[in-house]
Every structure is written in structure tokens, then in C-alpha cells.
A and B are shown apart, each in its own frame.
Chain A
């Protein structure tokens, strides 16, 4: 009996409509959690918000496999001891001179962010068109927290009506960001901006000083420009043709059953796509959490925080069983509890825990890693965090 998979994201519309109830439930238990939760302050008004990426990863993220098709994981290893290191054996260092490092703990880095910096304090509003294109970096949607929609709507409507964007700095995950808070169609968005010091000026390059050009040449160029003018831009013009070529070729191979390897669903989480970002139905999540004014997955958060008793000794299903299954049978596979075949004692013990941890969002994993004071956690991917936490407990 094929079971719906939590990671089965890019569905067709028909499928979505029929599975709406199911979908909804699922997002409350395993949907993506916000990247950041914090507070916008506007005068004395405080407005708790959640941040979700407004940019999706590229449609194609290829992962590395070995010649047998086993997905590989990126790991750190010690050259002297010739072995893979666990995350609790790693520390973070800043190279002050060649091969001389100052060790910095994450706890110390966190202490550098003052309390206030967890807030987006809107002390200044500017005309949106005043911000030079060069400054814009990335976009995040903001959803109101816990049904507190009034202040959110009030701010969105007032900003939109006045054509203004709020400007602030705040600290998220060990980095300070300059943001423009923009309201569009009743939705607040945070656009991170580059700091002035991150941008070069033409003088820094340096580029030649503008000088007068030949009149006839300019005229000819202008005519060539005019000949190509169109008033609008449809989204299709911005399609990623390179990714689409790869997808088309993959579909061709799939149709011929050529180089296709079926994976058990639990094979997935350990190996992150190379280009980063969770592949999620962000739209569904945002739609829901904006409409309801509540981040999805909230009720799941409490149970997820508690650790279940360790299913000691229960070995994970062997990869070899799931790996070479013919593609027709995919999705019927047994629940493999994470990675590893249980032959090395500490790993076997960990794998059950891993499977459980991998159901959590990166944010939650990060929180746990923070409690455990794991070194290097802010640079870890979701899978790496899960692994690091599992190896401690």
C-alpha cells in the first residue's frame, strides 16, 4: 500500500485538490518551520512574526552518489588519523596567521548579539524607489504569529498606502542583516539589503570616467534599442533553461527505466541537495499560515522537543535492501530507520534517534544543538545537525 510521503512535494494540481485535508494535516505536523521567529517593533507596537524564504532553490539540485548509486554525504575527516570525525570533535577557528587559529565557541558568538538585535525595530521609513537595485539581496515572507493579525494588517496597510518601506538591522543566526520591510498586497516581506561596505563603487574597480560618445554611434544604438522594446515581461522569459534540460533528460531516462534507482524514503534526509534549501511546497505553507495567522507545525513543536526512549539495538533496514529495488515498487519500502546497518555499535544506536531527529526542522535542530552547545552548528545543514545531535545523546 503506497503511503504518502512527507517529502513528496511538487504535486500536480489535481492531486493537491483531492488531498487537501490530508495535506493540511501533514503541514501541521511536518511542514517547514520558519527560518526565524522574532518581533517587529513599530513605535511601541510589537508584532511577532515568522520568516519564510520567498525565493525557492533552483528546480534541479543534483546530488552525489557513488558508482553503485548510493547517495553520499559530505563529512569532515582528519588527515592524520585518516578517519571521519564526529561533529563533537570539531571546533571553530579563525585563522589569524598562517596555520594559527583563535578558537571561538558558538556560545561566545551568540553573546555578541545584544537582546535588542532579535527585533526588527522600524525606526525609519523610506520611499521604496529610493533604494538602489544594487542593495537588494534576498527576500523573506513574514507571517503573523499565533493569530495576532491585527497589528500585522495595520502595518501592511499603512505602509502600502504610503508607498514606504521600513528599514532596520537585526541579527539572525549569527549574522547581522540590513532589511527593508515591504508591504505588497497585504503581505509583509523582508528584503535583506547589502551593507554599503559590501558594495564596490565604480571608483573602486576603477572604471573609466564617463566621456562624450560619438553622436552617430549613439543614435544607431538607440535605434537598435528601440527596435527591441517590449512593454511587459512574462515570467516565462526568465525560465531556467539549463535546469529544464536536465529535468527533460531525467524524464527520458525514467521513461526508459535507464539508470533509475528506487530509494526508500528514509534514505533521503541524510544527503542534502547540493544547492541547499528544502524542497517544500512553500506556497501551501505560506497560504495557510498567512490566512490563519499561525505558523504551521506549531502544535507539533511540543512533542518534537521531547526525546523518545532510545530504541536500542534495533538495526536499521539495510540500504542494500532498498537500494536495488526495481523502480516499479518504489514507495512500498519498509521504514528504514535512518542510515547505517547497525554494525558499529554507536552508529546503530544512533540511527533510530536520527530518523526521529530528521523529522524536525532545521530551526528546531539548531535550537537543540544550541542547548547541547555543539560546535560549528550554525554552519551545519539540517542533516548535519541531526547527525551531530544524534551522536551526542
Chain B
């Protein structure tokens, strides 16, 4: 089934305008359950309630509040929040271009494919210009009342937008203190590197499957046919106390297999 475009926008930089359609590159594959009332197995609804009285508060009588660090609430009216919403529009404004890898995977959020909206010639010119320059763009846009920052780049020749996390959402590694201790044993380090070398392979994403999901679906199918399931407990492993021995034995095992 062909995917539907989720949004339309216009990529802009300098004098350039390229109308595009956005398609989510991600498809939800998780198994969704509903919560049911045990008594009669009917689906339950969610509601906002006053926790003191258990009374349901209709949406029209709700407001939004911001909790300050000190623990008070600042209440906003709906109109007031609307006024703070970013101006909607169709522009995907590219504010700069950068060498690739400047924005790395720590910022990546969701990938969107871009398709042409009308003019294919502009769309292909953009793809080619991006390919030739080897740069990627940093773009801002507003989609469904939310503002986004994203990287404009190519994925196997196809223009895409990778939405990015905001500054406040990424913990900088620099500010953390790695574990310290006695200098590592050179022989152990060497063995660890050898072991990594022996286990090295290409990344082949097709090789990995969500087997758990498949088992969940099998369980559902089995239950539908009236079968029962057995339960196994889960234990946790102990840490290795002799690193040298463990590494040596691992290397031996890998060599044998090779």
C-alpha cells in the first residue's frame, strides 16, 4: 500500500524554492493492546479526573499549567497558549549548510522522506545539488503547531529530512566523568581488541528481526485457539571476576570457530 504524505511544505534557501511532500520513513510495527474492564471485557475509556473526587472533568473545563522549579503552577488559558504557538506556514527554511557528520546520531529523532510536490524537475535538481556539494542543510519548519529543527540530506540519493532533538534534550558527554581506576592491563586490552577484530562484520540490518514481537503475535494466536502458555523465570548473570581468563577463553573459542 503506497504511503500517504503527512505534510506539504516548501524548502527555501537563497532564491531557491522546492515544493515537497513529507512521508514518514518509520512505520509502527508494535503490537497494540487495549485495556479492558475485567468484568465484561469491554474496552475502557480514558478521562481526566479530579484525583480528590474521582469526578470526570470535561475537556472544556480544563486548562494547562506550567510547573515551576519551586513547585508552583502557572496557569495558561487556551487562547494564551495559542498566541504562543509558532506561526504556521509551509516554509522549510534552510538556515545553513554544513559538512556531513557535524550533526551526528545523538541528535537524530525521526526520518522523513521528501517527495516532489508538483515540480519534479526542481526536486531532482535539489537532489543533484545536494549530492554535488556533499553538504547537508539545517532547516526549521512548523508542522501541526510544533516547531522542528532538522537536517536536510540525502538517503541513497533521495532527499530527506531528519528531525533533530532540541539542545536541552541531549546530555553532553563532555560533562560526564567516565569511570576511573588503575591503568588497564596491556595484555588484556590487546586480547579485547583481538576479540573485537574477530567479531567484526558488516552491519546488515536485514539480519535482525523483532522476534519478541513475533512471539507475542504467536501467543495471541495460540490463545485465540484456546491454548495455554508456560512461564519461565529470568535470572541475572554474575560479573566476571577474572578478566584475563575470560578473555583468553573467549579468544580460544573464537579461534576454534574460525
Contacts and interface: CB of A to CB of B under 8 A. Distances in A.
Contacts of B196: 125, 158-159, 162, 164
B72 A330 contact: yes
A57 B169 CA distance: 6
Given A254-B72, A261-B73, 20 more contacts: A39-B239, A43-B251, A45-B240, A46-B237, A59-B168, A69-B63, A74-B48, A93-B34, A93-B35, A109-B216, A139-B105, A151-B239, A153-B179, A154-B184, A195-B210, A198-B27, A226-B133, A239-B168, A240-B147, A241-B147
B92 interface: no
Interface in A273-289: 273, 282-283, 286-287
Given A125-B196, A144-B179, A290-B179, A56 B169 contact: yes
A200 B121 contact: no
Contacts, number: 553
Interface in A248-302: 249-250, 253-254, 259-263, 265, 268, 270-271, 273, 282-283, 286-287, 290-293
Interface stretch (A25-33, A76-84, A306-314, A355-363): A76-84
Nearest to A135: B205
Contact of B236 (A38, A231, A283): A38
A167 interface: yes
B219 A108 contact: yes
Chain A to chain B: the 9 pairs with minimum beta-carbon distance, closest first: A43-B250, A186-B178, A224-B14, A176-B212, A221-B129, A240-B166, A213-B125, A158-B192, A149-B179
B151 to A, nearest CB: 8
Contacts of A90: 35-38, 44
A59 B168 CA distance: 7
A57 B40 CA distance: 38
17 contacts: A45-B247, A65-B62, A69-B65, A93-B34, A99-B43, A104-B219, A176-B213, A186-B178, A208-B123, A212-B128, A218-B125, A221-B125, A230-B97, A242-B147, A243-B166, A261-B75, A262-B72
A243 B48 contact: no
Contacts of A286: 171, 176
A253 B237 contact: no
B64 A89 contact: no
Contacts of B147: 240-242
A371 to B, nearest CB: 12
Interface residues of A, number: 197
A115 B231 CA distance: 11
Contacts of A37: 236
B175 interface: yes
A391 interface: no
Contacts of B40: 80
Residue of B27, B48, B95, B243 most packed against chain A (CB within 10 A): B48
A126 B201 contact: yes
Interface string B98-129: 11001101111001010110001111111111
Contacts of A217: 121-122, 125
A196 B129 contact: no
Nearest to B62: A64
Nearest to B3: A205
A134 interface: yes
Given A112-B219, A198-B29, A222-B132, A206 B171 contact: no
B74 interface: yes
A268 to B, nearest CB: 7
A226 B99 CA distance: 11
Contacts of A260: 72-75
Given A55-B171, A78-B42, A126 B203 contact: yes
A113 B235 CA distance: 12
A296 to B, nearest CB: 14
A229 B46 CA distance: 49
Residue of A149, A171, A222 most packed against chain B (CB within 10 A): A222
B253 interface: yes
Interface string A54-88: 11111111111111011111111111100111000
Given A63-B65, A186-B179, A291-B179, A213 B158 contact: no
B203 A167 contact: yes
